[in-house]
Amino acid sequence: GAGANYGLGRAALPEEIAAWNVDVRPDGSGLPEGSGDVFTGEQVFVEKCAACHGDFAEGIDNWPKLAGGDGTLADEDPLKTVGSYWPYLSTVWDYVHRSMPFGAAQTLTADETYAITAYILYSNYIVEDDFTLSHENFLEVEMPNADGFIVDDRAETEYSIWRTEPCMENCKDSVEITMRATVLDVTPEEEGTEEASMDAPAE
Partner 1 sequence: MSDTFQGKGTSRRAFLRGGVAAAAGAVAAGTASANSPDPLITEVQDWASGLGAGVDEVPYGLPIEFESDVIRRNVEWLTADTISSINFTPIHALDGTITPQGCAFERHHSGAIELKKEDYRLMINGLVDTPLVFTYEDLERFPRENHVYFCECAANTGMEWAGAQLNGAQFTHGMIHNMEYSGVTLRTLLNEAGLGAAGDLEDKWVYVEGADASSNGRSIPMEKALDDVLVAFKANGEALRKEHGYPVRLVVPGWEGNMWVKWLRRVEVMDGPVESREETSKYTDTLADGTSRKWTWVMDAKSVITSPSPQMPIKHGHGPLVITGMAWSGHGKIARVDVSKDGGITWETARLGADGANKALTRFYLDTEWNGEDWLLQARAMDETGYVQPTKAQLREVRGENSIYHNNCIQTWHVKPNGEAENVEVS
- Residues 53-112 binding partner 1 (CB under 8 A) are 61-64, 73-74, 76-78, 80, 82, 85-88, 90-91, 94-95, 98-99, 102-103, 105-106
| Beta strand 35-37 pairing with 132-134 | antiparallel
CA pair distance 95, 106, nearest whole angstrom: 10
**Binding of partner 1 at residue 51 (CB under 8 A)?**
no
Count of residues binding partner 1 (CB under 8 A)?
93
Q: Which amino acid is at 33?
A: E
Closer residue to partner 1, CB minimum distance, 43 or 192: 192
Nearer to partner 1, 8 or 130 (CB): 8
Asked if 84 and 68 touch (Cβ cutoff 8 Å), the reply is yes
Is position 15 an interface residue for partner 1 (rule: CB under 8 A)?
Answer: no
Distance CA 138, CA 30 (A): 12
Stretch that binds partner 1, among 25-33, 110-118, 122-130, 131-139 (CB under 8 A): 25-33
Residues 126-185 contacting partner 1, CB under 8 A? 148-154, 157-159, 162-164, 166-172, 174-182, 184
- Identify any residues that bridge with 37 across adjacent strands, giving them in sequence order: 132
Query: Which of 15, 20, 140, 142 is in the footprint of partner 1 by CB under 8 A?
Result: 20
- Which among 24-32, 39-47, 112-120, 128-136 is the span making contact with partner 1, rule CB under 8 A? 24-32
Of positions 15, 21, 55, 56, contacts partner 1 by CB under 8 A: 21
Residue 133: which H helix or E strand, with range?
A: strand 132-134
Kindly report the number of other CB atoms within 10 A of residue 127's CB atom: 20
Cα-based torsion angle of the residue sequence 184, 189, 191, 193 in order, rounded to the nearest 10 degrees: 70
The Cα–Cα gap between 138 and 88 comes to 10
In the complex, minimum distance from the CB of residue 83 to partner 1, in angstroms, rounded to a whole number: 12
The minimum distance between CB 130 and partner 1, in angstroms, equals 27
CB of 44 to partner 1, least distance (A): 19
Q: How far is the CB of 48 from partner 1 (least distance, A)?
A: 14
Contact criterion met (CB below 8 Å) for 114 and 32: no
Of the residues 23, 47, 55, 136, which one makes contact with partner 1 according to CB under 8 A = 23
The SS3 of residue 39 is helix
Cβ–Cβ contacts within 10 Å for residue 125, how many? 12
